[in-house]
A and B are shown apart, each in its own frame.
Chain A
Amino acid sequence: DAGITQSPRHKVTETGTPVTLRCHQTENHRYMYWYRQDPGHGLRLIHYSYGVKDTDKGEVSDGYSVSRSKTEDFLLTLESATSSQTSVYFCATRRGRTFYEQYFGPGTRLTVT
């Protein structure tokens, strides 16, 4: 357990509205990740961060942006939510490059109507 919390845990929003999901960690891990999980697709990496203000794209980054202004917080923003972004979103952390274990948060279920 790496002290990862995600907020909100559940959210229903309308198409076209902006949405921000928050991941908070208490273990001072360097790396943070955002994944989405959909039936038939497994877990897909959206964006990740390797330090404060250092971020990079993953497999499915279109329509998403991220920010990391503090070590403990990693924000995922959907600028204009679409129904295709209905999914379960997982945040994960990793202590550092030589540490292989990733720790995952409990997930956020987002529904875009």
Chain B
Amino acid sequence: DAKTTQPNSMESNEEEPVHLPCNHSTISGTDYIHWYRQLPSQGPEYVIHGLTSNVNNRMASLAIAEDRKSSTLILHRATLRDAAVYYCILGSMDTDKLIFGTGTRLQVFP
């Protein structure tokens, strides 16, 4: 399985944009990029996923590099509720399972 590399932790102030990076230099052509987040004392929840083009939904935006070797999850205006561990995961259409890493712990300050 292709691996991802994320910073261990990041900090942001409330109402500021947050850019969470993910490197995946060994990504295959069929791998989708998935993002999940885990709020304190809860199970992870899906955030967004994409293949090649940038993606937007109500929670976040996903910017994918042209060579697909890196991607960035963008929270446009961080809130205190966005403080969580964010996981970047690769998986193809043939993947039965998602392998989580250790993720990035995002702290949001008022």
Contacts and interface: CB of A to CB of B under 8 A. Distances in A.
A interface SS class: strand
A105 B41 CA distance: 11
A97 B93 contact: yes
Contacts, number: 54
Interface residues of A, number: 26
Given A40-B102, A42-B101, A97 B43 contact: no
Interface in A77-108: 90, 92, 97-98, 100-107
Given A42-B101, A42-B102, A104 B45 contact: yes
Contact of B99 (A31, A59, A101): A59
A42 B87 contact: yes
A97 B97 contact: no
Interface residues of B, number: 23
B44 interface: yes
Nearest to A41: B102
A42 B5 CA distance: 13
A14 interface: no
B19 interface: no
Contact of A100 (B34, B44, B85, B87): B34
Interface of A: 31, 33, 35, 40-45, 48, 50, 56, 58-59, 90, 92, 97-98, 100-107
8 contacts: A31-B96, A33-B97, A42-B85, A43-B44, A90-B43, A100-B32, A100-B34, A102-B44
